[in-house]
Structure 1
Amino acid sequence: MKRTLKIRKSFNLWLFTGASVLLVASLIVGGWTGYSAWQEREADNARNDSVVVARRAIEGMFGYSYQSVDQQMPKVVDDMTSDFKADWMKVTNDVIAPGAKEKELVVTATIEATGVISASANHTEVMVFMNQKAVGKDPAKGTYDQSKLRVKLDKQSGRWLVSDVDPI
């Protein structure tokens, strides 16, 4: 009788240990699966939200009128990181605005397509295919350009902001 009781206790101990191991393993696998699903959902949100900001920023940066460039560009920088904002305003003030006023340029930027190169919860890279048409006081010297741009965006304080734009 004692031996049967001892075997039963040993069996119960092994059963409890096995069930505990399975429970812990299930919790680990469930937690890992949930975390992976959350990361994928965050990356999907990043892809969708950052493309919207990239399109808006690129259209504003590369489409302007000599009559309103001084009022327009300060609005465009709302979608930029502080470092990129400082660089862009310097380019605007030193090159874009004076050139636009001198040649009386009206530049239209049209985004033809976008594609996400890479995305994580806090950083994305978006490829932007843009057409840019410029007409000035001499319409015969108007231009039409097609460009591919790599737009890097960072999420700061819950907002997607352009941190760099590189022509490809």
Structure 2
Amino acid sequence: MTTLGETTESIEATALDEDKDGTTHRDSDAIDTDEAPDDEPDDRRERRPIAWTRVFAIGVLPAVALVLAIAAGYFRWVAGSADDLARARSESVRAASEDTVVLLSYKADSVEKDLGAARERLTGEFKDAYAELTRQVVIPGAKEKHISSTAKVNAAASVSATGNHAVVVLFVDQTVTIGEGAPTDTQPVVRVTLDKLNGRWLVSRFDPV
């Protein structure tokens, strides 16, 4: 026969078991609830793949284009400088050759006119020195002794040249005739220095070598 005390203990034991089960389930639910958010940051932390094509198009291509533009400008400048130098050499050699012929050529009956035209091809101190020499020595001697001179440039070479300054060496044949005498030939070598003024190459020095 079951006593009242035994019945009470049985009911309390059953209730205790139910409380334990309920607590266990609730704790399990709580744990599950706490663990669920841990999975979300992992999903958010997943990195997107880098779009290398976009990086290349935005960053690399403009840099390459800039480098190519700078290089093209540099080589264009170098080519332009080389062309300018070649032009200066060619122009100065031609001017020196023409000027040398004019400076050394004159006729007895037109010496003042001939040498006056030659002075227009000169500049600086040399122009003044040439004018004084021709006025005091060459013109009076040519008139008095009927001296004529002709010159021809056999060869010319550029020594140096920039946009406004050049040096040229010339090999000249000069023939001088005095009165009715036989012509005398000489082969002077001259070093001509030129300066470019107002677009013209003018002789600033004329030195025998």
- The TM-score with structure 1 as length reference comes to 0.85
- Which of residues 124, 143, 146 is equivalent to 2:166? 124
Q: What is the aligned-residue identity percentage?
A: 30
| Counterpart secondary structure, 2:109 | coil
- Which of residues 47, 69, 93 is equivalent to 1:3? 47
2:47 is matched by which residue type in structure 1? R
Contact map agreement 1:66 1:101 (CA 8 A) in 2: yes
Cα drift, residue 143 of structure 1: 2.6
Cα drift, residue 106 of structure 1: 0.9
Unaligned 5+ segments in structure 2 are 1-43
- Which of residues 82, 93, 101 is equivalent to 1:40? 82
Unaligned 5+ segments in structure 1 are none
2:119 is the alignment partner of 1:101: no
| Alignment-derived partner of residue 161 in structure 1 | 202
| Alignment-derived partner of residue 58 in structure 2 | 16
* Equivalent runs, 1:12-161 vs 2, <5 Å: 12-13=54-55, 16-137=58-179, 139=181, 142-161=183-202
Cα drift, residue 133 of structure 1: 1.2
- The TM-score with structure 2 as length reference comes to 0.70
| Alignment-derived partner of residue 32 in structure 2 | none
| Counterpart secondary structure, 2:190 | strand
Provide closer, same or farther for how the CA distance between residues 23 and 83 of structure 1 changes in structure 2, counting only shifts above 3 A: farther
1:146 is matched by which residue type in structure 2? Q
Counterparts of 1:148 and 1:88, CA distance in 2: 18
Total equivalences in the alignment: 165
Q: 102-111 vs 82-91, which deviates more?
A: 82-91
Contact map agreement 1:39 1:121 (CA 8 A) in 2: no
Cα drift, residue 92 of structure 1: 1.2
Counterparts of 2:59 and 2:119, CA distance in 1: 61
Counterparts of 1:94 and 1:22, CA distance in 2: 70
| Cα RMSD for the two superposed structures | 2.3
Cα drift, residue 99 of structure 1: 2.4
